[in-house]
Structure 1
């Protein structure tokens, strides 16, 4: 998997001054476009589109300072339809306009070329299993919240507090199937996994596909395979680290890729919420399924 990702990075470098098709990059990486975007964002810490933009503007910055082409020629060469659009993008990355940078020879910001490698520490193992599930639905409350990498997510905490004990008990009574009980389900709205990126957070239960939602929202999910990861440790840090490790360590070294669908979290906290045991359900497919 990492070899394929690095071949895709080579392809990006070869075509920084031309068109780049994410579907073609995914084919080079021998994976689906959906999984390629998700995995790239997790490994790189930024969406694919942002990395390409920063690399292009890094190369464009060198051309601006070299002075061999006009600013408009550089803008068009790197995919900008006007000098104004190029200047805005240039300033967003470098903190200075291209004209001023050329006049003053200012220091610019560079986005280094990336390559991916897997660091194996060997001091821990990741417990997981795969589960084939028939179609089901998530029934519960949905809220648009920002992504938080470390510590409590205040928007999610407020969402759950706002439901009240009576509503939570009514939701728990609709639970049918695994994972049992009240769960969180995260639906990423894009491949952007940067801090603050918006996502839909569901808090509710898994239920039969024809279950009456009883006035709650419902998210229908098709039959498919899920990778289920187990975690136990400080709350919420251990869960957030598990999420990170699944995409940066497990996927690159296992014959699975993510498929569209929510990531479901079942949490069993200690009485004081200082620690928690949890299961994280990720929708996956075996790479043989795409062969």
Structure 2
């Protein structure tokens, strides 16, 4: 229950600062987890990204202000962090379907998005196989690109990386250099709060990378919760990750540690993929 309470405290923080510039790092601190993992958990549990949720809340409040008060559109725009009237109009119309100048017209329909409240719903109908594995530090080598701190902005970067790596021969090249656990081609989200966020397509290996256009990264020792899965990717792996966060994590006795998320691809058949999801965990206090 404590985990859910932390999420609800984070929602309370958002509400208290809804008309200010909201610091994602501070929200995550309220929830006692990393900025990356908070956004992941929020998106899977709320079925909407954190940035979209904040935008909807602001536009709900902006509509109420415009409908019930005498404030000008430009003043309401500034109140909710929009220095550009054009950007405010665009955001308002994307939520309500009309321009903010029309809210007082007769018969206008608006959308209200109240604050989210999280709670645990016990499902338990479908089993989840997993194992807990303690692993010492290990080195990965591969290709990498920086990631945005608003994670939904990465939904184009990562698939494009995989597509390019499959077409230019990078994946077979990496597979030939694989040695050590976890055995498979890895998708690694390095998104802790202490360094630049990056996404790696990589393998575990101690081999040299001179003049091969690759990067290396040392993954620190962690305890991992490892979940096997299979099916058509990326849908199957996304569904498994959602179940991990919404069903397993809240009642597991574990919480996220500040390490990378790892997807281990055990074969190279996207339509019939076998994979594992590794998440860094620690025992709750």
TM-score (ref. length: structure 1): 0.74
Match of 2:10 among 8, 11, 22: 8
Unaligned 5+ residue runs, structure 1?
191-198
What secondary structure sits across from 1:130 in the alignment? strand
Is 1:212 the counterpart of 2:208? The answer is yes
Change (3 A) 1:226 1:147: farther
Change (3 A) 1:73 1:216: closer
RMSD of equivalent CA atoms: 3.4
Change (3 A) 1:86 1:143: closer
Change (3 A) 1:32 1:263: same
- Distance (whole Å) between structure 2 residues aligned to residue 232 and residue 260 of structure 1: 21
Match of 1:78 among 77, 80, 83: 80
Is 1:140 the counterpart of 2:138? The answer is no
**8 Å CA contact retained: 1:64, 1:98:** yes
Q: Which moved more, 1:45-54 or 1:16-25?
A: 16-25
- Residue 105 of structure 1 deviates from its aligned partner by 5.3
Alignment of 1:225-264 (within 5 A): 225-236=222-233, 237-254=235-252, 255-264=254-263
Encode CA deviations 1:167-212: one digit per residue, 9 max, x unaligned.
Answer: 72x53342222112x313143889xxxxxxxx9461x42113xx30
| Count of aligned pairs | 267
**Structure 1 segments (4+ residues) deviating >6 Å:** 143-146
Encode CA deviations 1:19-59: one digit per residue, 9 max, x unaligned.
Answer: 54434433433334343222112222333222112101111
Alignment of 1:1-291 (within 5 A): 1-103=3-105, 106-141=108-143, 147=155, 156=162, 159-163=165-169, 168=172, 170-180=173-183, 182-187=184-189, 200=199, 202=201, 204-208=202-206, 211-213=207-209, 215-236=212-233, 237-254=235-252, 255-268=254-267, 275-288=272-285
- Residue 107 of structure 1 deviates from its aligned partner by 1.4
What secondary structure sits across from 1:185 in the alignment? strand
